[in-house]
Homo-oligomer: A and B are copies of this chain.
């Protein structure tokens, strides 16, 4: 029987490890649910600071607040990382209405897209309706020239994960203004990228290629868009529109960074983005992600965890309109010869966490999936290949062998709030937010112990 002894020892040691891990993970969740600070902290960010687009006074306030909060948790170091940011402003005038051939008017709830130009006073032109960018690109320039292009595609409700529906409609916002401008359009309006049919317009960034004229562009509420489609089925409709947005010269801003030092110099990055759109309170996008990560740091520190690798929490600036925070962070990491082994992002709201999406090889996915049993009692049930996050994305350009993860969150309600005035603190549930924070802390702990 002697030959079985080493195997028994190995089994016992594995079981003991798993048992110890389970006990520590239970402590993480207890700390989050009993002594959690994420919900009260999110309230401050949302209610005392509010919407915080890069370049705004509120964004600067958020940087100061985030740095101060992280310092209060006695982490090993807290510092700012300087970045350059684009500086787009909405301006004050923002209105639109449609007018049919009988003179009837339909007021539209709109929000300029980030990157839009001003209309320089009132702009009036005929609407040309297309479903999506493919239909737009199939039009000849004489059909579009001097007109306002209206894109109407709605979310496909059949997608179980609403991020998938969003991905399909993304070109309406991301690409249509650029394509319409190339065809000579005066402006672009789109049906908001949102799940429900309601009266909230949803903004977001759009991008123009170098050399393409920047034109005015805006999103209208999904209800308005559906109403306007009905109007257009009865004949010609003129659109009146006024925006006075402007793009100012690039400005200086900061990522906020905090660390718990490891036994070696390898780095595990966790993060979300501190900036938000300039409407609502950026509660789910991405106040919740910021709280998940700050709270994960607080929990690991409170439980006196001594990591093998440095745990670095980054509150990225400018995810929403440029990703200069994420790009700069990755570039400087490489320049400083840092060794990055893992990055985890939370940027899908403060709803129920359901698992982790993994970016990596099959073997790396298997490394994460070995924790399924430990995660099961916390309803973190889906560990699969997927998307990580916009902020940490650039790191993989320089560290193609690192593992990345995105916290997977119940997506059903996210696009009711995303980029709209509706994204406010009251829509976040305390326990769901706390479970997200504990999920991040748990994955950091498990991976820190596992990765060499």
Could you list which residues of chain A lie within 8 angstroms of chain B, going by C-beta atoms?
A: 29-30, 33-34, 157-158, 160, 162, 195-196, 352, 354, 377-379, 381-382, 410, 412-413, 416, 429-432, 435
Bound together, the chains give a CA A378 to CA B29 distance in angstroms of: 26
Asked if A430 and B196 sit within 8 Å, CB to CB, the answer is: yes
Q: Within the assembled complex, what's the spacing in Å between the Cα atoms of A382 and B381?
A: 8
Given known contacts A352-B410, A352-B412, A410-B410, A431 and B382 CB-to-CB distance under 8 angstroms: no
Interchain CA distance A431-B162 in the complex, whole Å:
10
Given A30-B158, A158-B34, A352-B410, check contact A381 B381 (CB 8 Å).
Answer: yes
CB atoms of B29 and A160 under 8 A apart: yes
> Which residues of B have CB within 8 Å of A162?
431
Complex contact A160–B382 (CB within 8 A): no
Residue of B nearest to A430 (CB): B196
Contact A379 B352 (CB under 8 A): no
Which one of B158, B413, B416 lies within 8 Å of A29 (CB-CB)? B158
Cβ B431 vs Cβ A378 within 8 A = no
Asked if B431 and A195 sit within 8 Å, CB to CB, the answer is yes
Distance between A409 CB and nearest chain B CB, rounded to angstroms? 11
Interface pair A33/B412, CB less than 8 Å apart: no
Chain B's closest residue to A196 (CB) is B430
Does A160 lie within 8 Å of B377, measured CB to CB?
Answer: yes
Partner of A382, one of B29, B379, B412: B379
Inter-chain contacts of A435 with B (CB < 8 A): 160, 412
**Known A33-B158, A34-B157, A157-B431; 5 more pairs at CB < 8 Å:** A160-B377, A352-B410, A354-B379, A412-B431, A412-B435
Q: Which residue of B30, B160, B381, B416 contacts A378 across the interface (Cβ within 8 Å)?
A: B160
